[in-house]
Amino acid sequence: MSAKFAVRDLDVFYGRKQALRKVSLEIPEHQITALIGPSGCGKSSFLRCLNRMNDTIPNSRITGQAFLDERDIYGTDMDVVELRRRVGMVFQRPNPFPQSIYDNVAFGPRVLGARQFGRLDEVVETSLRGASLWDEVKDVLHHNALSLSLGQQQRLCIARVIAVRPEVILMDEPASALDPIATLKIEDLMHALVEDYTIIIVTHNMQQAARVSEQTAFFMVDDDQVGVLVEYGPTREIFTHPRDARTEGYVTGRFG
């Protein structure tokens, strides 16, 4: 089991407020890792460190180290554009661009230089198939993406991400805005995608974490209201034999 990400002593600050303290963990390749914990525990902040989306928030600052395939994500030789191509992201609310379905999927290849990804039509089809959306939209490729249902929009966002052939897909509560059926489709999709990608999902839905993930990391705020990593391990153990009392309290539904 090789580590895709290795994070050591990561601290995240927004202005003076510390969001995460001393997080260290290794995330395995080609598995689904779930980040769980109550609201405000810093799990999304952690996720956004992995593709440096925190950089877009003014006054955000990190210390510690994070490596992708043993390359320092925050190193001077790391090209953020390249990092974000390799580490794609799916957001909490589906955010397709108000353009056609086709243009949404073609966005990444066009912006990053279409040639390296092959023929655009093929990229769009393969990506939409990869996101289990092709059959539903193949006749309406040039319709506005906002005309799709929320669940379809979210799968379109996944198609948009895989169009640039990332290695990792970060998912920030990807199903929290969706109904149960659409949620199920996203989860099925994750199981299919994990063949080719490393997936890290933030969720506050514990059943979801239990259903989809191989590894689970439990975050919580400590007494100073700073997020910490409480426990990390195989999902089965986190949910059946948690070592930490706080983890047990959370997964058995005593708080959260």
Q: Which residues are at the interface with another protein (CB under 8 A)? A: 51, 53, 56, 81-85, 88-89, 91, 93, 95-99, 107-108, 110-112, 146, 157, 160-161, 164
Label the pairing between strands 227-234 and 168-172: unpaired
**151/242 with CB nearer another protein:** 151
Burial status of residue 235 (CB atoms within 10 A of its CB: 0-12, 13-18, 19 or more): buried
Label the pairing between strands 60-68 and 71-72: antiparallel
Q: Classify residue 20 by its DSSP letter.
A: E
What whole-number distance in Å separates Cα of residue 161 and Cα of residue 122?
A: 15
Q: Taking the complex as a whole, how short is the minimal distance between the CB of residue 202 and another protein, in angstroms? A: 14
Alpha helices in the chain (DSSP H): 43-50, 80-86, 101-112, 120-130, 134-137, 150-162, 180-193, 206-212, 235-240, 245-251
**150/194 with CB nearer another protein:** 150
The greatest distance separating any two alpha carbons of the chain, rounded to the nearest whole angstrom, comes to 55
Q: Taking the complex as a whole, how short is the minimal distance between the CB of residue 143 and another protein, in angstroms? A: 14
Q: Taking the complex as a whole, how short is the minimal distance between the CB of residue 31 and another protein, in angstroms? A: 22
Q: Taking the complex as a whole, how short is the minimal distance between the CB of residue 98 and another protein, in angstroms? A: 5
**65/95 with CB nearer another protein:** 95
**99/205 with CB nearer another protein:** 99
**147/240 with CB nearer another protein:** 147
| Secondary structure (H, E, C), 196-212 | CCEEEEECCCHHHHHHH
What whole-number distance in Å separates Cα of residue 97 and Cα of residue 108?
A: 12
Q: Taking the complex as a whole, how short is the minimal distance between the CB of residue 172 and another protein, in angstroms? A: 10
What whole-number distance in Å separates Cα of residue 256 and Cα of residue 253?
A: 7
Q: Taking the complex as a whole, how short is the minimal distance between the CB of residue 96 and another protein, in angstroms? A: 8
**98/180 with CB nearer another protein:** 98
Q: Taking the complex as a whole, how short is the minimal distance between the CB of residue 71 and another protein, in angstroms? A: 16
Q: How far out from the chain centre does Cα 97 lie?
A: 19
> Amino acid identity, residue 4?
K
What whole-number distance in Å separates Cα of residue 25 and Cα of residue 217?
A: 9
**108/130 with CB nearer another protein:** 108
